[in-house]
Amino acid sequence: MKKNILITGGAGFIGSHVVRLFVNKYPQYNIFNLDALTYAGNLENLTDMSDKENYTFLKGDITNIDFVNSIFAKFNFDGVIHLAAESHVDRSITNPMEFINTNIVGTVVLLNAAKENWKNDFSNKLFYHISTDEVYGSLGETGFFKETTNYDPQSPYSASKASSDHLVRAYNNTYKLPIVISNCSNNYGSHQFPEKLIPLSINNIKNNKPIPIYGKGDNIRDWLFVEDHANAIDVIFHKGKNGETYNIGGINEWTNLDLIHKLCEVMDKKLGREPETSKKLITFVTDRAGHDKRYAIDASKLTKELGWKPSLQFEEGIEKTVDWYLNNEDWVKNIVSGDYAKYYESMYKNR
């Protein structure tokens, strides 16, 4: 019997990489992608999946109890990999309610459906919740987030993800629902919605528009290539221990300003511009409210216990990423020609 695996949020950035990996690597699984196709969901991320026999797209909202229960009853999922979420910190500052609904309520709807559907036999079932390093808060100049670091979320986004993590653990403790959680650092790579720093900057550099850097550009993020995150998810889904948390990170810290300098260098080369040309587009703008200073992940538990480590150096990953955006102009055009223009105008006009 083929296993039925539910992936939520599979039309988004990371989810589409996870869907592609699982569909191609595991013909013995039927992969079901449940996605509401919000502004961030895009079936163009998965055009290469549409004719795969072991792939099914289900359009639906994870907060819709009847719908979620009905698909659990119909497909008897053996496992869930839960990525669907509102994911952009800036949007959580202007519109926190959507984050509460999707990230907290939606997660509980899925947990309940799994618990009810699996209640007679939890063996060989798994609810895998994908989370973020932002739940741990903000670091000073030293130290790393470990799995044992206390939660200290600082934005509506990270607080909603922290709540969902707590609820997933509560279902494990109270109902013995088999779960794993992973908390990952910032991802970059193909198919990322251009509201996030790297694809936004690539698009602006290409079009000779200002690159907005919040504050002084001295905030630090730990960047991981998205395909390495998808590989870590594969390893944790198959080898992770019930009830455990695994941190995933790139061992790759950059200040935002250094990262944009690197990106400008790569783009100047790729676009045939004189060195130092694109750097002139850098524009310092009003800081993000409550902007976390530094994230850095200690992923040694995952490496030691399950054998995962990142496969790519940042220099290689950023070149691949830039190449993808430059070779997929239509993908970008289809996004920036829609509601994105309105979003960009309201987010950046008074900064």
By CB under 6 A, name the binding residues for ligand TDX.
Answer: 87-89, 132, 134, 186, 196-197, 200, 212-214, 219, 221, 256, 288
The two structure tokens encoding residue 15: 């989810």
Residues near ligand NAD (CB under 6 A) are 8-9, 11-15, 35-38, 40-41, 61-63, 83-87, 102, 106, 130, 132, 161, 184, 186-187, 193
Minimum CB–partner distance for residue 121 and ligand NAD (Å): 27
3-state secondary structure of 316: helix
Cβ closest to ligand NAD, residue 41 vs residue 137: 41
The residue among 7 and 266 lying less far from ligand NAD, judged by its C-beta, is: 7
Phi and psi of 296, rounded to 5°?
Answer: -155, 130
Return the closest-CA partner of residue 89 out of 97, 77, 102, 99: 99
Of 134, 147, 195, 292, the active-site residue reads 134
CA angle 61, 63, 67 (to 5 degrees): 60
- Work out what residue 247 binds among ligand NAD, ligand TDX, none; the CB cut-off runs from 5 to 8 Å by kind: none
- Specify the residue, 57 or 278, whose C-beta has the smaller distance to ligand NAD: 57
- Residue 316 bears catalytic tag: no
Minimum distance of ligand TDX from residue 250's CB (angstroms)? 11
- Nearest residue to ligand TDX, by Cβ distance, number only: 132
- Nearby residues of 114 by Cβ (< 8 Å), 6 or more positions away: 72, 77, 80, 125, 127, 177
Closer residue to ligand NAD, CB minimum distance, 198 or 264 = 198
Question: Active site residue: 35, 86, 133, 227, which one?
Answer: 133
What's the per-residue H, E or C state across 51-98? CCCCEEEEECCCCCHHHHHHHHHHHCCCEEEECCCCCCHHHHHHCHHH
Q: Out of 55, 157, 325, 344, which one is annotated catalytic?
A: 157
Instruction: Tell the smallest beta-carbon distance from residue 312 to ligand TDX (Å).
Output: 18
Closer residue to ligand NAD, CB minimum distance, 8 or 30: 8
CB of 322 to ligand TDX, least distance (A): 16
State which residue, 20 or 161, has the beta carbon closest to ligand TDX. 161
Q: Name the minimum Å distance from CB 190 to ligand NAD.
A: 12
User: Whole-angstrom Cα distance, residue 20 to residue 14?
Assistant: 10
CB under 5 to 8 A by kind: which of ligand NAD, ligand TDX, none does 13 bind? ligand NAD
**Residue 222, token pair as written in the block:** 């730990």
Count CB-CB contacts under 10 A for residue 202: 25
Residue 162 contact, options ligand NAD, ligand TDX, none, Cβ 5-8 Å cut-off depending on partner type: none
With contact defined as beta carbons under 8 Å apart, do 288 and 88 qualify? no
Residue 318, Cβ neighbours under 10 Å: how many?
Answer: 24
Q: Which residue has the closest beta carbon to ligand NAD?
A: 12
Active-site residue 133, yes or no? Answer: yes
Sign of CA dihedral 315, 294, 246, 95: negative
Closer residue to ligand TDX, CB minimum distance, 17 or 88:
88
Torsions phi, psi for 63 (to 5 deg): -90, -5
In the list ligand NAD, ligand TDX, none, the entry touching 202 (Cβ below 5 to 8 angstroms by class) is none
* SS3 (DSSP) at 214: strand
Unique residue bearing structure tokens 């870590």? 232
For residue 202, what are its two tokens? Answer: 């690539």
CA distance 62 to 198: 28
Cα 214 to Cα 289: distance, rounded to the nearest angstrom: 10
Q: Is 134 a catalytic residue?
A: yes
Beta-ladder partners of 304: none
Active site amino acids: 133-134, 157
